Amino acid sequence: MPNGVEEGMEAEGGDHREISVAEFFEKNKHLLGFENAQKSIITVVKEAVDNSLDACEQDDILPEVHVIIDEYDDEKCRVEIRDNAIGLDRETIPKVFGKLLYGSKFHKLQQSRGQQGIGISASAMYAQLTTGEPVTVYSKQEGEPCHKFVVRIDTEKNEPEILEDEIIEPESDEFPGDKDYFFDHGTTIEMNIEAKYTRGHHSVRNYLKHTAIMNPYARVVLKEPDGNKIEYPRVSKELPEKPKEIKPHLHGVELGVVLRMVDNSNARTVSSFLQKEFTRVGRTSAEQVCEEAEIESGRRPNTLDKDEVEDLLKAAENVKLQSPPTDCLSPIGEDLMEKGLTKELNPEFTETITRKPTVYKGNPFQVEVGLAWGGDIEDEGSFEELRYANKVPLLYKKSACVTTKAIENVSWNRYNISQTGNRPQGPLYISIHIASVWVPFTSEGKEAVANYDPIRKEMKLALQEAGRKLGKYLKRKERREIQEKKKRQLTSYAKEMAPAIAALADEGNEAEMEDKIQQLVQNDYNPEQL
Amino acid sequence: MPKKEFENDSKTLEQLKHLGKKIKNQLDDPEEDDLTFDTQVRSRSNVEYDEKEGRLALGDSYSTRKFLNISHARKFMQTLMVASKTKELIESGRTAAIREVYYQLKHSVPGLDENTFEDQDESNNVVVDIETATGAIREDLHLFAEKKGSLFGPVVINDSGDEIDCMNMGTSGLAIPSIVDHYEFVECEADFILLVETSAMVNRLVEEDFHEEHNAILISAGGQPSRGVRRLVNIMHDRLDLPVYVFTDGDPWGYYIYSVLKSGSMSLAFQSDRLATPDAKLIGMTMEDIEEYGLEHVTEDLKGKPEGNGGPTKDYKRIHDVMDYEWMQNDQWQNQFQKMLDKGVRVEQQALAANSLEFVANTYLPEKIENKEFLN
């Protein structure tokens, strides 16, 4: 670099200073879902509920989540979310709620709802920013006392600032166990935020309803500001299989990540580095990759420069590797999905399909689809879409989402479902779930999934399979209706015909003749006839 | 009015009773799992042209109507209702218009969102079914249709005891009923029968005293001739031995009217022997008339699109359809159609008025008849 430039930059250095993560997000809160008062409350609830559900599943606890919302001022709400998870220890509590980018999941390749460790602390920051008030957290672990913390974030340092730290006695009024649900262990968070509580498609209520559909083993209770209480019941005591943590796969990993891994690895040779830090790399494939990249396999990994690591990754693409294991995924499964759809929508027919896991660029993912038709579902002229990523409902940016594109790729009218343009019509809910350790969202807001070919294809196949079954059901139903209509017609015609036949034949009893005709109709009628 | 008894009444009653018994027997037979009756197929596939007789006839294909077949069921019910109604008519010595029968039987079917008959076409169709199923014609069933067409000319008719002089019918003429079998011809001075497509043209001829001056019986068809008109022409030709000339527009529709009168129609092919008059001849309009009588400036372009140019549609399609009928396979006819297609025009009988109002009565028709310039 020419000297002059470096000097120029240094000269301006006076105005430059480090930006704290918390400060950055404070200025860019829209990136985290806090664009406006209506959306902010959904985001707060979503982050807290996601954490609660993740925490419960982590320890095989059937989740019990309460969301209590009160309006206390113009466009200000008090939000309280309680769960029955295992609870947090005293040291962790302030960090989880008072420090951005603190989390247990960020460094793991494992399917979970949250990932970056921003969500709940960002909510705390939003509370602090809009009402100036800190958050209050109660957390109790089994056999431990209940801790109460009042925490704020020091945004300049991105560190928790503890305002209160006390133990709540079980006898105290404040003890969360005395409230209206069982509380032997779990976490409660309370905060005051600027918010607008609304009903409709984009609402807390709808978010929780969608959540309840995809998590039927959770009991969720919502208390709205007007005192209205809604319960989303638990209909299954079976939790989905817990996802396993996996190492990255050479075919999907990014250069920057490998560079960091190279620095941190304690492997002695490149070959053992590849075998240890990545999934599905054995000795032979490791040697093959090195050979292809023309890199000495016995070198120390931390002697590799950036170009060499890049060569290594390119070389890996030419080496056939086994697909990553897919037990890192936790699909909800066809049974549970059906239970979820049935309990919240009370449809006449449901069909659910869980596809086999598959891999995109080294990232395993799995698609699930559920169709719910008729019953209590009203025909609004178009279908309703339920989108999920790792069991978390996506409410915004529908049109940008791969799910919508996949739905539009299917010829619904082939399945006896009417269609306007590319979109199916009728009393229909379509739910689509993508489970992956790394869901390719279109933006930080995690509101829409990118339209990648292999993902869209999997979704399309699942939709087609479910569509075929729904189509079959509708066809059979239509046939049955035709049969019933036919019977009704013939039965009525018989009444007109009997007197005519008697008059024509000049003999015979009308009533007797009608009986005989009705018998013919009865013998011919077969509602199960297909 | 006295009760009406027709000569076929007892036979017709037997036939209707037979139909009823057949259904009743099916009901009584434990082996039978449906109700059926046979009707002759009346679609074009079962219509044949009898070249020797010069008229259409029904072939021998039958179709079985089944009650439990949902596409037949409604008609099945309707047929029995109409049949039993006609039996009642005959027994009580009454006649009824098919429109009356329609209203008598029309009501909503209990338990269904439908009527026994939705429109008169349905009951009309069923009447024809009963005719073919029983072999009794509509007149035998004591059913008649609305009067259509009118008659003028030197003939005296006895209708149920009343004598009608068709020469003294003013400008209205004798309205032709659908049942004419009972007509007796008391006197007849006529030399020929002229059947005219439009009533406007008949009015013109009556105003010019054509029927008086040429001893002609003028009959207006008012478009497609009704059963009554066709039956009347048929019996007058037979009983009075009069030649029959047909005067229509020079277009495929006019020519088809002629062919219906001459050879019968497809839907009533089973009655061609009573309704068709194979000796009838077409007087015009022909394509040659256009030049012969200087009508080039009053022709009309054929409507629709010709074949190979997005067509044939409308008039063009009709010409092609009619050209394909077996009973139109004669050189004179094919020649006329070909000329229509070539010139792309049609000519109406009223176009003759371009020369003068009396031209048709004083020049066109007399010349044609004098010169025996007919299409057969």
Q: Where are the alpha helices (DSSP H) in chain B?
A: 9-28, 70-92, 98-105, 120-134, 199-207, 210-213, 227-240, 252-263, 272-275, 287-292, 314-324, 331-343, 359, 365-370
- How high is the pLDDT of residue A440? 87
The answer to whether A478 contacts chain B (CB < 8 Å) is no
- The position carrying tokens 């050879």 is B263
Of residues B20, B23, B111, nearest to A488 (C-beta): B111
Chain centroid, CA A430 distance in Å: 14
pTM of the model: 0.67
pLDDT at B2 over 80: no
Query: Which residues, 6+ apart, have CB-to-CB distance to A210 below 8 Å?
Result: A386, A388, A393, A395
- Please give the CATH architecture assigned to the domain spanning B149-371: 3-Layer(aba) Sandwich (3.40)
Collapsing DSSP states into helix, strand and coil, what is residue A373? strand
What is the identity of the amino acid at B267?
Answer: S
What is the identity of the amino acid at B323?
Answer: M
Confirm whether B8-144 and B149-371 share one CATH topology: no
Q: How many CB atoms lie within 10 A of CB A47?
A: 24
Q: Smallest CA–CA separation between B18 and chain A, in Å? A: 7
Q: Smallest CA–CA separation between A480 and chain B, in Å? A: 14
Query: Looking at beta carbons, which residues of chain A come within 8 Å of B129?
Result: none
- How high is the pLDDT of residue B145? 87
Chain centroid, CA A118 distance in Å: 17
- Do A495 and B110 make contact, defined as CB atoms within 8 angstroms? yes
Give yes or no for a contact between B195 and B173, defined as CB atoms under 8 angstroms apart: no
The predicted model gives B164-191 an average pLDDT of 93
In chain A, whose CA is at the least distance from the CA of B83?
A504
Asked whether residue A294 falls in the same domain as residue A436, the answer is no
- Do B111 and A492 make contact, defined as CB atoms within 8 angstroms? yes
Q: Which residues of B are annotated as part of the binding site? A: 197, 249
Asked whether residue A428 falls in the same domain as residue A512, the answer is no
Residue to mutate among A489, A490, A501, A520, with most B CBs inside 10 A, is A501
Instruction: Indicate the length of chain B as a whole number.
Output: 376
Q: Which of B49, B62, B102, B103 is catalytic?
A: B103
- Do B23 and A496 make contact, defined as CB atoms within 8 angstroms? no
Of residues B34, B76, B80, nearest to A504 (C-beta): B80
Q: How far is CA A97 from CA A118, A147, A160, in A?
A: 9, 14, 8
Q: How far is CA B79 from CA A494, A508, B123, B124, B129, in A?
A: 13, 19, 8, 10, 7
- How high is the pLDDT of residue B216? 96
Strand partners, B301: B345
pLDDT at A367 over 90: yes
Count up the domains in chain A and report the number: 4
Helix axes B120-134, B70-92, angle to 10 degrees: 80
Asked whether residue A375 falls in the same domain as residue A435, the answer is yes
Q: Please report whether residue A239 resides in a domain.
A: no
- Do B24 and A508 make contact, defined as CB atoms within 8 angstroms? yes
Q: Please report whether residue A323 resides in a domain.
A: no
* Class of the domain covering B8-144: mainly alpha
Asked whether residue A175 falls in the same domain as residue A203, the answer is yes
- Report d(CA A49, CA A45) in Å as an integer: 6
Q: Smallest CA–CA separation between A515 and chain B, in Å? A: 10
Q: How many CB atoms lie within 10 A of CB B163?
A: 11
Asked whether residue A264 falls in the same domain as residue A389, the answer is no
- Residue B272, both tokens: 């061609």
Please tell me the least confidently modeled range out of A151-155, A346-350, A526-530: A526-530
Please tell me the least confidently modeled range out of A13-17, A127-131, B212-216: A13-17
Average pLDDT of the residues of chain A? 87
* Owning domain of residue A51: 21-232
- Do A489 and B23 make contact, defined as CB atoms within 8 angstroms? no
Q: Smallest CA–CA separation between A477 and chain B, in Å? A: 18
Q: Please report whether residue A241 resides in a domain.
A: no
- Do A517 and B67 make contact, defined as CB atoms within 8 angstroms? yes
- Dihedral (CA of A178, A181, A184, A185) sign: negative
- How high is the pLDDT of residue B373? 92
- How high is the pLDDT of residue A271? 92
Query: Looking at beta carbons, which residues of chain B come within 8 Å of A496?
Result: 77, 80-81, 109, 116
Question: Percentages helix, strand, coil for chain B, rounded to the nearest 5?
Answer: 45, 20, 35
Catalytic annotation present for B103: yes
- A51 among annotated binding-site residues: yes
pLDDT at A4 over 50: no
Of residues B20, B68, B88, nearest to A501 (C-beta): B20
Portion 500-519 of A in contact with B at CB < 8 A: 500-508, 513, 516-517
**Mind listing the pLDDT tens digit for each residue in B132-161?**
888 888 889 999 888 899 999 999 999 988
- Do B80 and A501 make contact, defined as CB atoms within 8 angstroms? yes
User: Which uninterrupted H or E stretch holds A359?
Assistant: strand A358-360
Q: How confident is the model at residue A529 (pLDDT cuts 50, 70, 90)?
A: low
Query: Looking at beta carbons, which residues of chain A come within 8 Å of B83?
Result: 500, 504
- How high is the pLDDT of residue A428? 96
- A104 among annotated binding-site residues: yes
Asked whether residue A298 falls in the same domain as residue A420, the answer is no
**Mind listing the pLDDT tens digit for each residue in A240-250?**
888 888 888 88
- Report d(CA B179, CA A115) in Å as an integer: 93
Give yes or no for a contact between B218 and B163, defined as CB atoms under 8 angstroms apart: no
pLDDT at B64 over 80: yes
Asked whether residue A260 falls in the same domain as residue A282, the answer is yes
**Mind listing the pLDDT tens digit for each residue in A299-308?**
998 888 899 9
Average pLDDT of the residues of chain B? 93
Q: Please report whether residue A179 resides in a domain.
A: yes
Query: Looking at beta carbons, which residues of chain A come within 8 Å of B81?
Result: 496-497, 500
- Sequence spans of domains, chain B: 8-144, 149-371
Q: Please report whether residue A197 resides in a domain.
A: yes
pLDDT at B194 over 50: yes
Give yes or no for a contact between A28 and A35, defined as CB atoms under 8 angstroms apart: no
Asked whether residue A114 falls in the same domain as residue A169, the answer is yes
Query: Looking at beta carbons, which residues of chain A come within 8 Å of B73?
Result: 486, 489-490, 493
Asked whether residue A179 falls in the same domain as residue A278, the answer is no
pLDDT at B314 over 70: yes
- Do A501 and B67 make contact, defined as CB atoms within 8 angstroms? no
- Do A516 and B27 make contact, defined as CB atoms within 8 angstroms? yes
